[in-house]
Amino acid sequence: MMAKSPGNKNWLQAWLEDQRILLWGAADLREFLTPADASGQRFPRAIAWALPIHPSIMASVKDGPNQEYAEEYSRVNKRINELAHKLSVELRSRGHRAQPLAASERTDTTNIMGDFPHKTAATRAGIGWVGRHCQLVTSSFGSWVRLGTVFTDMEVDCAMPLQRNFCGRCRRCVDACPARAVQGNEWYPGITREQLLDAHQCDQWKKAHYYEYHKGRICGICSAVCPYGTRLLRDRKKGRR
Ligand code: SF4
Ligand code: SF4
């Protein structure tokens, strides 16, 4: 757990724990171009969290996606969107501006991106770093997670952003990607997505080979092979989780 919001810890932490969100943090986003609300005002902060994907389902996609993974992906995204809506309502009821970021929505289909990267909010909230595969890696669940974000103007003490990656010499995701889309570079704050991932190559591969699953929107191979995820399975077998 990485709850780093002492200023509003009491109600926010209680609320999040009540929703069984154990991995979350508050992010200072003042240096980023966050989405604007209906009045045209941008948001200075966000509450970011991660929900785990079932480890044995995630491990099962190391050779490509399957129906069980497609259903788990939908289930976790649905839960994230429900939580984001509820948290936004709660924040507004307490007099703050708030706006949820959809769990998995491409608002810019040309550049294959949404309104704002969940990963940026998450690294700034201190809940993980970004792996070579361009996905958030958390200490608790590796990259076997989906991410939620709610923008807000609530005054809250924000976490220390993650500043480095912990991939070391590992290149498993680079070698495993069938589309050769993972570029092999190490993440640091400010690196562009293109330096980490050829999103168009990834997208084309998924559409060509996995169209039966969410019209080619999912794959998961690069995440399934990541040792920060596979160790979860080992720990479960040893009864540590
Ligand atoms: S999700 Fe994209 S980058 Fe990852 S393994 Fe699949 S095709 Fe490669
Ligand atoms: S598979 Fe290895 S290189 Fe890729 S994100 Fe995980 S730790 Fe980093």
Q: Is the CB of 181 under 6 A from ligand 1?
A: yes
Nearest to 50 by CA among 162, 153, 157: 162
pTM of the entire predicted model: 0.92
**Position in ligand 1 atom list of the atom nearest CA 205:** 7
Which residue, by CA, sits nearest to atom 7 of ligand 1?
202
Q: Count the helix, strand and coil residues of the chain and give each as a percent rounded to the nearest 5.
A: 35, 15, 45
142 lines ligand 2 (CB under 6 A): no
Q: Where are the domains of the chain?
A: 6-237
| Nearest ligand 2 atom to alpha carbon 137 | 5
- Residue 167 CB less than 6 A away from ligand 2: yes
Quick one: average pLDDT of 54-83?
96
> Helix or strand or coil: residue 137?
strand
The protein residue with its alpha carbon nearest to ligand 2, atom 5, reads: 131
Say how many Å lie between the CA of residue 174 and the centre of ligand 2. Answer: 8
* Higher-pLDDT residue of 119, 240: 119
Ligand 1 center to 87 CA (angstroms) = 31
Strand pairing partners for 147? Answer: 50
Ligand nearest to the CA of 64: 1
Average pLDDT of span 70-80: 97
pLDDT, tens only, 81-106:
999 999 999 999 999 999 999 897 77
Report pLDDT digits (tens) over 186-229: 999 999 999 999 999 999 999 999 999 999 999 999 999 999 99
Q: In this structure, are strands 129-130 and 136-137 parallel, antiparallel, or unpaired?
A: antiparallel
Asked if residue 30 has its Cβ within 6 Å of ligand 2, the reply is no
Q: Determine if ligand 1 sits within 6 Å of the CB of residue 177.
A: yes
| One-character DSSP codes across 35-68 | PB-TTS-B-SEEEEEEEEPPHHHHHTTTTS--HH
pLDDT of residue 6: 46
Find out whether the beta carbon of 170 lies less than 6 Å from any atom of ligand 2: yes
